[in-house]
């Protein structure tokens, strides 16, 4: 097996990495996970990334996702990581620490790339919105399989607060909501997105999509809602694909 890549997904609670079969999108190694350091400063996070690459004994280029708008490899925002990330040259930081080529992109964009490459065919046709539910709500906009990078729909204001403040899976856990209660909040977000953007389909991902049967059937938007096929593996897979194809936003 020679068509392999390595992806790392940096989240607000954990940093995860694995070797990916680029033909199938499957993991071919155990996923390595280390808790995100507190505070999640650039140097502290880069040290964890280096530890994951070392543990995996990976020698090639690395794709890395960050919960940030990334343009020309510069982090312009910092969601659920330390504010000192704003303005950081991510390629320089990780390249210096790892001593190799790195490709850095927004975490939800990586998930969208993975779903286009390996997931549901809905992501490859028409206008599709992918949402990842975790510490926050990430988003990826795709039209006929082409990504519009760095959308930040989780920060859309609904009833005076950001969507992810009340509808992320972290909000569900924090407020100890039942799936029925939480689904109403997600539904509110999707209805607003449908009103503004009129997608032909929604794809929902993140770890909570593993239990999609408990909440997706409760959603009432007109567009069909599909659980992401790659679930919470999508960030790692999309990062590995980006590194293999030389993609830098």
pLDDT band at 1 (very low <50, low <70, confident <90, very high): low
- pTM of the complete model: 0.90
Does 121 or 102 have the greater pLDDT score? Answer: 102
* Superfamily of 120-228 according to CATH: ATPase, nucleotide binding domain (3.30.420.40)
Q: Which fold has domain 4-106?
A: Nucleotidyltransferase; domain 5 (3.30.420)
As a whole number of angstroms, the distance between CA 230 and CA 240 comes to 14
Q: Prior bond to 39 cis, omega within 30? A: yes
Q: Quick: pLDDT tens for 230-239.
A: 988 999 999 9
Domain ranges of the chain: 4-106, 120-228
pLDDT of residue 249: 72
- Do 146 and 112 form a contact (C-beta atoms < 8 A)? no
CA 50 to chain centre: 20
Distance CA 211, CA 208 (A): 6
Q: Do domains 4-106 and 120-228 have the same CATH topology?
A: yes
* Coil/strand/helix, residue 106: strand
């Amino acid at each position: 097996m020679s068509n392999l890549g390595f992806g790392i997904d940096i989240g607000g609670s954990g940093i995860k990495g694995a070797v990916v079969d680029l033909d199938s999108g499957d993991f071919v190694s155990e996923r390595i996970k280390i808790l995100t350091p507190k505070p999640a400063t650039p140097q502290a996070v880069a040290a964890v990334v280096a530890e994951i690459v070392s543990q995996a004994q990976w020698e090639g280029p690395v794709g890395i996702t960050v919960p940030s708008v990334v343009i020309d490899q510069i982090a312009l925002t910092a969601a659920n990581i330390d504010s000192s990330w704003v303005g950081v040259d991510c390629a320089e930081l990780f390249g210096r620490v790892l001593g190799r080529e790195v490709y850095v992109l927004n975490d939800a964009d990586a998930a969208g790339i993975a779903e286009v490459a390996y997931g549901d065919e809905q992501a490859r046709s028409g206008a599709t919105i992918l949402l990842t539910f975790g510490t926050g709500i990430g988003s990826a906009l795709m039209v006929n399989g082409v990504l519009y990078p760095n959308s930040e729909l989780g920060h859309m204001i609904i009833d005076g607060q950001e969507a992810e403040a009340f509808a992320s899976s972290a909000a569900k856990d924090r407020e100890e909501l039942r799936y029925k209660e939480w689904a109403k909040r997600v539904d509110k977000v999707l209805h607003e997105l449908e009103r503004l953007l009129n997608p032909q389909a929604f794809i929902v991902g993140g770890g909570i999509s593993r239990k999609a049967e408990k909440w997706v059937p409760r959603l009432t938007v007109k567009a069909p809602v599909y659980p992401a096929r790659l679930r919470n593996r999508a960030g790692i897979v999309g990062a590995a694909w980006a590194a293999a194809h030389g993609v830098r936003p």
